Amino acid sequence: MSAIEIPCVLMRGGTSKGPYIDLADLPPDREARDRVLLRIMGSPDARQIDGLGGADTLTSKVALVGVSERPGIDVDYLFAQVSIERPFVDTEPPCGNMLSGVGPFAIERGMVAATDPTTRVRIFNVNANAVIEAVVQTPDGTVTYDGTTSIDGVPGQAAPVVLNFSDVVGGKTGSLLPTGNVRDVIEGTEVSCIDAGMPMVIVRADTLRLSGGEDGAFFAANSELMARIESMRRAAGARMGMGDVRDTVVPKVGIVSGPVAGGTIRSRYLTPHALHKAHAVTGGICVATAACMPGCVGHEVSEVSGSPSERVVIEHPSGTLEVRLEIAENDEGWTVAAAGVVRTARKIMSGQVFVSEEDWNGR
């Protein structure tokens, strides 16, 4: 049986990594597409030995990109989180780290014409129903990945990719505060349920009897704590109007505490069944919003200025993530007008990934 070749580019986007693929090169049917993605990544298998996956949630990701037919938008971006040990592809959550490579990929694939010295790519994130402008370094009309920008969680330096988010509120639930409250009590614990960039359940570390500085090994070794957090997450998902969330990774959980290294707030971001080694970008927007919003459990442990234009530095296990936030309160409540972050990306390889006709057709 002959193999089917699918063009792809393996890239690091932010603190994540995975193949970037043109949507036009995949089956249009979702079931067939997911089957092909599982095969590409080598799932289900704990080592993903037979595919491109790296046996880690941060490296079992795929960015699907296509020319957009939406007015004022260059490309559509659909993020796919490929389960490692289950035959499941989750396209519910967004990924702001993989988003970092969408602009460079779109330019190099000819979806967007490059300009000198930078190119602005208007991206519609299908997962989050949000618009993002990516500013990519393109001196002389050519994408460059070399630069002097560093981001925590990634060794070395690279060219900056500026991500300007708009329409970040209510992408999944329709509102910034999907329960209607700035604070709720779920299973005896005070939380804030927020949908800004990513729907999240924000909980203070001390209410879980944590310091806020715990590492991944701590969470992996505490199954009772993780079971409690998962129960709270599922209950919160129902209250947020998301239904039964046991088979999806949203809402995510953010465990927040006061900063200890000169930042604004400290966060431990769960993916949700393990600790993120750094921090999700979209989750960072949500944590930053929680830090800036009076009454939220995140606000009472943060050190914000109260300015409508806030620079929020989130301390995470690998360092910090800086979010520029435009947030204000009006007669209708709180609103987040815009958010901006700086990431980097690197093209690692370009070529074809192979699947069988059986994978493609499902026979």
- Give the tens place of pLDDT for each residue, 256-289: 999 999 999 999 999 999 999 999 999 999 999 9
Whole-number percent of the chain with pLDDT over 70: 99
Quick: pLDDT tens for 167-200: 889 989 999 999 999 999 999 999 999 999 999 9
Q: Which pLDDT score is estimated for 362?
A: 83
SS (H, E, C) the chain: CCEEEEEEEEEEECCEEEEEEEHHHCCCCHHHHHHHHHHHHCCCCCCCCCCCCCCCHHHCEEEEEEECCCCCCCEEEEEEEECCCCCCEECCCCCHHHHCCHHHHHHHCCCCCCCCCEEEEEEEECCCCEEEEEEEECHHHCCCCCCCECCCCCCCCECEEEEEEECCECCCCCCCCCCCCCCEEECCEEEEEEEECEEEEEEEHHHHCCCCCCCHHHHHHCHHHHHHHHHHHHHHHHHCCCCCCCCCCCCEEEEEECCCCCCCEEEEEECCCCECCCCCHHHHHHHHHHHHCCCCCCHHHCCCCCCCEEEEEEEECCEEEEEEEEEEEECCEEEEEEEEEEEEEEEEEEEEEEEEHHHHHCC
| pLDDT of 350 higher than 80 | yes
Q: What is the mean pLDDT of the chain?
A: 96
The structure tokens listed for 76 are 């559509």
The predicted structure's pLDDT at residue 116 = 97
CB–CB of 69/75 below 8 Å? no
% of the chain surpassing 90 pLDDT: 93
Q: Output the pLDDT for position 1.
A: 58
Residue (of 317, 319, 252) closest to 285 by Cα position: 252
Res 331: pLDDT: 78
- What's the mean pLDDT in 55-59? 95
Q: Is 295 left (phi over 0), alpha (psi -120 to 50) or beta?
A: left
Q: Is the pLDDT of residue 48 over 70?
A: yes
State the average pLDDT over residues 4-23: 98
Write out the two tokens for 193. 């349920």
Mean pLDDT of 31-40: 97
Say what the pLDDT of residue 167 is: 82
Asked if residue 330 has pLDDT above 90, the reply is no
Residue 328 has pLDDT above 90, yes or no: no
pLDDT greater than 90 at residue 333: no
pLDDT class of 363 with cuts at 50, 70, 90: low
Query: What confidence category does residue 133 fall into, taking pLDDT thresholds of 50, 70 and 90?
Result: very high
- Looking at residue 60, its pLDDT comes to 97
Whether the per-residue pLDDT at 232 is higher than 80: the answer is yes
Is 332's pLDDT higher than 80? no
